[in-house]
Structure 1
Amino acid sequence: MRRNSPFNIVGAGLLIVASTYGLSRYTYGLFVPAIRDDFNLDQATVGAIGSASYLGYLLATLVSPLLVRRFSPRLPIILGGMTATLGMLLVALAGNPMWLALGVTLAGCSPGLAYPPLSDAIKQLCRAEKQSRYYAIINSGTSFGVMVSGPLALMAGPRWQLAWLCFAFIALIATVWNLFIMPGAAHEGAQRTSPQEHADVLRTDQEPMWVLLKRKLKDRMVRRLLLGALLFGLVTSVYWTFSVELIAGENSLSASGSVIFWMIVGIAGVAGGLAGELVTRFGLAKVLKWATLAIATSIASLTIASDGMLMLTMSAVVFGATFILITALYGIWSVYCFPEAPSTGFGLTFFLISAGQLISPTLAGAGAELWKMTGVFQVTAIVCLGILLLLPSQDVRNM
């Protein structure tokens, strides 16, 4: 089978995203109760470990585009897979909180390294008409990771470390696969771009990063992209961090019920793989508008979920699908705005999403003291609508 066959490109990319995002980054929250009990940790320590993971991700997101410009897309992707494997192995084998924190932080770095270069890899390996479609499917790998983590958590039970050993093994497989698939030269596959695009890429390689960013920030379209990404991170982090706590308090949801809720969010996210098709057909601005309205509704609906499991399920399904969809939309939009340096725009966009995700839990925790968690979710849903003021000012239908 050819290295750049659809199966290899999509399969390797999807598995590395599932390993680094779905498992390495988002799974920590699912295991917090078991980890807290086994290591006798207080809430502040649990939160500090989670914050270290976010900080690791942010730093890695800044480093990754530099590695692409200096070396190749393959290098940071492989480094991301290696840190995911090592980090989750350390979590599984940790005998004290220090090793646990180191493992969680390393695992948290992995998507920051591996994810931004995928935009460059896709641009180099795929024909233009296939790029948005392939990227959207690869981006849904987060959902597959979340889907896998739920059943493994249930099977492992109190021996939760076994689940993390399985996660590490999955990340190792993803790393080896990507080693053979991803382009190892800075412009490998450049023949798939037009002569003008190729010239732009070569010119950008000679342009210092800060000069590129200064030039791009003069563009109103780029400013809308980056502000929207920051706001998206702020509002969605509240759901990822506190949704289980909210519904457990309101509905006395059992531990297994919380895992099932988590799995539903992950399963629904697979629908986000349709982002490329939707953008091609309807345009990015229209899709982002309706997806924003849907995700705001899903956040608000948790505050009235005491009416029963139907509302909980609907909220999980809508949030899971639209979260993955909107991340894909921002990815497509970022490459559209940075065609000469895809990983730079990609990395900056997702850096700001994660910066919002880092800040938001602290703000939400403080807000809960004033309005309770129900009020925090209601305010978050209203703030989410601010994304509607930051839609693309031009018609975007491909990367």
Structure 2
Amino acid sequence: MPLVSPGTDAAGYPAFRSVVPGLLSLMGIFFANFMTRVVLAPFLLHIRDDFDLTKAQAGELFFIVSLGYSVALLCSGFFSSRLEHRQVIMVSAVGIALALVLAAFSPNLLWLRSSLLLVGLFGGLYFPSGFAVLTSMVPHTNWGKALAIHELAPNLSFVLAPLLAEMMTGLGLGWRAALAGNALLALGALVLFLRYCSAGREKSIPPRPKAYLTTLGQGRFWILAVFFAMAIGATQGVYSQTPLYLVSVRDLPADWVNYLLAASRVSGLFLVFWAGMIVDRLGPIRALRIFVALTGIATITFGLLPGSWVMLAVLVQPTMGGCFFPAGFAVLSLVYPAAVRPLAISLVVPMAVLAGGGLIPAGLGIFGDHDLFALGFILLGAAILLSTVLTTALKPSPSPSPVPSQDQPTP
């Protein structure tokens, strides 16, 4: 006589194969969400021309989206403690779609900025609830596989955004059509989510202000916040300003740059697994130290390599930057016990997104306005490289829980 029902495992969860459609539908929501943070980069030259923006003003657009995203992440607990997680995801997807439509019809810069702030606010609601839904669908022994599916979203976004931009430009469509298309994508992903995913009926525990203050007062929290800010800056921040840098400073053809940008991110689809193995073999803190150093060196080459050699830097730098996240989340799991870890993530991620995805591209734009674009990349790489010193201050918690080896969620 079988001890479990057919189609379930020993813990009573559905067989992993049966929840794959639900996981894919959740990945679709995350894909539409993440695309809002990268879709502007391939069109930045066109947006700059349409609104007569300086390089710094163009970089500010990414800061505005990141600001909204970070604020929503910080406040997400107040929503998910009152609404079911799947309801929060629905609000996020519909809100993103409406805000993107508003942005697509922007008649002036103020309208565009306001709409992008709304995009970030609704986008930031997704991650905590999406992660809660994902982990409720499968037992912890299958979290690695589930997260691997979920993590296809940001990597696909980095690859597809420049290719779609080039295709749409060839069809005579511009950035406004891209934003409207992203809105339709968000609504389509929501329909599939409601159809194939029935999880997410739970609510989260209301946030406690005292716990926030305790976490913010810890030195290890700020060290991890620096590392994650550098990680997002080295990936999303560099990505957002690369097309403008290569065209305006390195004189590469705009259409060719988009193909180069897409090719540079293909490796991210596979390297997360390699990074996980390195973390297992060397340990999280040592692996993080190596990935930080290599990312810093690779980022410096953006400004140092002469002529067309910069294309080599564009291809190599993302391979190192993408390895940050498996090591970073493994270290966070090592230094924070399980009871405190969700709170630490809810505070680290928004700060890192605001700094790495907002301040860093805006800062690079300021350097670009002063004809110092290359110096901006060199200084960013140097800051990342110097931050390796901070790894010496990270220590495991007294009773750490098992460290996840790979496929940790990208913010």
- Name the TM tier (shorter chain): 0.7 to 0.9
Structure with bigger helix share is 1
Instruction: Name the residue aligned to 2:29.
Output: 16
AA of the residue aligned to 1:248:
V
1:220 deviates by 5.3
Residue 85 of structure 1 pairs with residue 97 of structure 2: yes
Residues 250, 306 of structure 1: alpha-carbon distance in 2 compared, 3 angstrom cutoff: farther
Partner of 1:30: 42
Look up the equivalent residue of 2:197 and give its one-letter code: I
Does 177-186 or 28-37 show the bigger shift? 177-186
Contact 2:59 2:364 in 1 (8 A): no
Distance 1:268 1:257, change over 3 A: same
Q: % of aligned pairs identical?
A: 17
**Which runs of 5 or more structure 1 residues have no equivalent in the other structure?**
188-200
Matching residue's letter, 1:117? S
| Counterpart position of 1:259 | 258
Partner of 2:87: 75
**Aligned-partner residue type, residue 131 of structure 1:** W
Given the alignment, which residue of 186, 189, 208 partners 2:202? Answer: 186
Residue 132 of structure 1 contacts residue 276 of structure 1 at CA under 8 Å; is this kept in 2? no
User: Pick from 318, 322, 325: which aligns with 2:323?
Assistant: 325
After superposition, the Cα gap between the structure-2 partners of 1:186 and 1:167, relative to the gap in structure 1 and judged at 3 Å, is same
Instruction: Measure how far apart 1:362 and its partner are.
Output: 4.4
* Residue pair 1:271, 1:325 contacting (<8 A) in 2 also: no
> CA shift at 1:133, angstroms?
4.3
Structure 1 residue matching 2:266: 3-state secondary structure: helix
| Equivalent in the alignment of 1:191 | none
In 2: Cα distance, 1:223 partner to 1:88 partner: 33
2 CA distance for matches of 1:226 and 1:27? 25
Aligned ranges 1:237-316 → 2 under 5 Å: 239-274=238-273, 275-276=275-276, 278-308=278-308, 311-312=310-311, 314-316=312-314
Deviates more, 1:103-112 or 1:379-388: 103-112
> Does structure 1 conserve the Cα–Cα contact (< 8 Å) formed by 2:38 and 2:240?
no
Indicate how the Cα distance of structure 1 residues 40 and 53 shifts in structure 2: closer, same or farther if over 3 A, else same: same
Corresponding position of 2:229? 230
Change (3 A) 1:331 1:135: farther
Q: Is the 8 A contact 2:27 2:152 kept in 1?
A: yes
Q: Deviations over 1:72-115 (max 9, x none)?
A: 33233222222222233333344444543343333333431112
Select 2:173's aligned residue among 146, 151, 159: 159
Q: Check 1:322–1:9 CA distance in 2 against 1; reply closer, same or farther (3 A cut).
A: farther
| TM-score (normalised: structure 1) | 0.80
> In the alignment, is the contact (CA less than 8 A) between 2:44 and 2:58 conserved in 1?
yes
Greater Cα shift, 76-85 or 250-259? 76-85
Give the drift of 1:3: 9.4
* C-alpha deviation, 1:241, in angstroms: 4.0
* Equivalence for 2:76: 64
For structure 2, which runs of at least 5 residues remain unmatched after alignment? 1-6, 8-13
1:393 aligns with one of 389, 392, 395: 395
The residue matched to 1:318 in structure 2 has which SS?
Answer: helix
2:383 aligns with 383
* 8 Å Cα contact 1:230-1:352 kept in structure 2: yes
- Confirm or deny: 8 A CA contact 2:288 2:327 kept in the other structure: yes
Q: Distance in 2 between matches of 1:341 and 1:8?
A: 31
**In structure 2, which of residues 91, 101, 119 is the aligned counterpart of residue 107 of structure 1?**
119
Secondary structure (helix, strand or coil) at the match of 1:253 reads coil
Does residue 1:168 correspond to 2:183, yes or no?
A: yes
CA contact (8 A) 2:224 2:348 kept: yes
Contact 1:80 1:114 in 2 (8 A): yes
- Verify the 8 A CA contact 1:226 1:349 in the aligned structure 2: yes
Pick closer, same or farther for the CA change 1:331–1:150 going to 2, 3 Å. Answer: same
- How many Å separate the matches in 2 of 1:182 and 1:224? 38
SS in 2 for 1:185: coil
Secondary structure, aligned partner of 1:123: helix
Structure 1 vs Structure 2 CA RMSD:
3.3
Inter-CA distance 217–272: structure 2 relative to 1 (3 Å threshold): farther
Report how far residue 66 of structure 1 moved. 2.8
> Hey, what's the Cα distance between the residues in 2 that align with 1:364 and 1:34?
18
Alignment correspondent of 1:135: 147
2:315, 2:110 → 1: CA distance?
36
CA distance in 2, matches of 1:151, 1:368: 25
